[in-house]
Amino acid sequence: MEKKSSKVKLQEVTRNLMRLEGNARACVMVEPLFIIPHNLFITYTSVYMVALGCTDKQIGLIASVSLIFQMFFSIIGGYVTDKLGRKRTSLIFDLISWCIPTLIWAVAQNFYFFLVAAIINSLVRIVHTSWSCLLIEDTPPEDRVHVFSWIQVAGILAGFVAPIGGLLVRRFELVPAVRGLYFFAFISMTTMVFLRNHLVNETKQGIARMKEAKNENFLSSMDGYKSAIKKLISTPYTMVAFLLSVFTNINNIIRMNFFAIVLTQKLEFSQQSLSFFPVVQSAIMLLVYLFVMPALGKLNFKKPLMSAFAAMVLSNLLLVFSPKQSFLMIILSTTLTAYGTAVSFPFVESILANSIDDNERAKTMSILFVILYGLTAPFGYIGGILSSVSEELPFVMMIAIFIICLFLVGLLSRLEKKQIKDTIRDEALEI
């Protein structure tokens, strides 16, 4: 019976993948060429920076400076995306924002190399707008949760290559091994950018916006931003969904910059062992997507998101109170993080995507990203200050943030019910 149930779930997962068409399928297909090298080097980024002389505060400062620049580039992201088109913008700015920084990171010598690379990498926020539009604009709203799920699955499968990084660190030592990973990232990411550009087509909305924006300059385009801002402010549902996105991004910043530090400096794990935990996380996330998400995807978002954020609270509690070199505690914490991430990402992203009008998507997303990076920018530096006092303090902060997320999910559910009632009432009045 159990085997039959698993077979049915796998068939459903396959059907969900086959439902992806056009740009969505192309983006999912090439994603491993980006995410594999990214997963290989990201595990070691913070300890690589420490090995080259960066302090905890400097690592946090780089993260915050990067977010400030990302906020600026998010402002122009919608204008550039509408002006050049989703496809061309993604090609140009992916080449600049990833291929150049990976080369700088590969030859980095000190803090200033990492700072310059982070600033150039901040141009990725223009791509985030164009790529998001390219990914979902020609996809029906009901299928978008599957698009985001499969983007996550691509990342999860890539996570299984993380032990290669550990083997290289053991064989060549940290700095030479990570330099090699960055050179590999340059080759793989460059290939991905050109291959994706060959496979995708400009979206219908993108073609329409390019025609409309042909004679539009940046200052005149700001009028569109004003109307989009007014619409956002008057839509509490979108704003609450956006806050959830802000908090999950803060978690990404903290884990990316300080997880390896707390493991190696406070919990006394070896540098080589760091590659083991991404594999555990990837394996759990894959199981969640194969056997849990097909069922959760049919539910209203409240229960899945509540369970996801509760898991994140418990995960950080275990990390904070773990004794030194306790593999069991960190594996359990990693398992909970994997579940929380696997469930929260597609739900939060699809809720936010579906709440935005397609006609104003590029500008609205640019505004959201500006606010997002404005709100999250201080947290890299705050995390650095907290980590310099005690390595576990950034994760204590995350416990408080995820508790707030639990309350926000309840608020979002109430707003959804109110929207449904208002829609029914309006339809009744029209009749």
- Cα of first residue to Cα of last residue in the chain, in angstroms, is 50
User: pLDDT tens digits, residue range 172-194?
Assistant: 999 999 999 999 999 999 999 99
Chain-centroid distance of CA 103 in Å reads 22
Residue with more model confidence, 137 or 96: 96
The token pair that represents 79 in the structure block: 């204008």
| Residue 221 domain flag | no
Query: Is 266 a domain residue?
Result: yes
Q: How far apart are CA 217 and CA 214, in angstroms?
A: 8
Q: Are 290 and 16 in contact (CB under 8 A)?
A: no
Predicted confidence at residue 278, as pLDDT, reads 79
270, part of any domain: yes
Give me the pLDDT at residue 2, please.
44
Is residue 186 within 8 Å of 102, Cβ to Cβ?
yes
Q: Give 426's pLDDT tier (boundaries 50, 70, 90).
A: low
Does residue 4 fall inside a structural domain?
no
Task: Please answer whether residues 59 and 256 qualify as being in contact, where contact means their C-beta atoms are separated by less than 8 angstroms.
Answer: no
pLDDT, tens digit, 9 for 90 and up, residues 408-422: 999 988 888 877 776
Task: Give me the count of residues in the chain.
Answer: 431
The token duo for 65 is 């400076």
pLDDT digits (tens, 9 = 90+) for 38-65: 988 988 888 899 999 999 889 889 988 9
- Distance between CA atoms of 277 and 279, rounded to whole angstroms? 5
Higher pLDDT, 198 or 277: 198
Q: Provide the b/e sequence for 306-339 (b: ≥16 CB within 10 Å).
A: bbbbbbbbbbbbbbbebeeeeeeebbbbbbbbbb
Domains contained in the chain, number? 1
pTM, full prediction: 0.68
Q: Look at residues 237, 242, 214 and name the one whose alpha carbon lies nearest to residue 365.
A: 242
Q: Are 106 and 182 in contact (CB under 8 A)?
A: yes
Q: CATH number of the domain at 239, please.
A: 1.20.1250.20
pLDDT tens, position by position, 188-211: 999 999 999 999 988 888 888 888
Which tokens belong to 324? 């030194």
5 pLDDT higher than 60: no
- 267 assigned to some structural domain: yes
Alpha helices in 43-110 (DSSP H): 45-51, 56-84, 86-94, 100-107
Q: Who's near 57: CB < 8 A, 6+ residues apart?
A: 381, 384, 385, 388
- Write out the residue range of the structural domain in which residue 187 sits: 11-211+229-430
DSSP state of 44: T
Q: Which two tokens stand for residue 153?
A: 């699955």
- When pLDDT is cut at 50, 70 and 90, the band that residue 401 belongs to is very high
What is the identity of the amino acid at 366?
S
For residue 217, being part of any structural domain is answered with no
Say how many C-beta atoms besides its own lie within 10 A of residue 368's C-beta: 23
Q: Residues 303-354: pLDDT tens digits?
A: 889 999 999 999 999 999 999 888 899 999 999 999 998 888 878 877 777 7
Residue 426 lies in a domain: yes
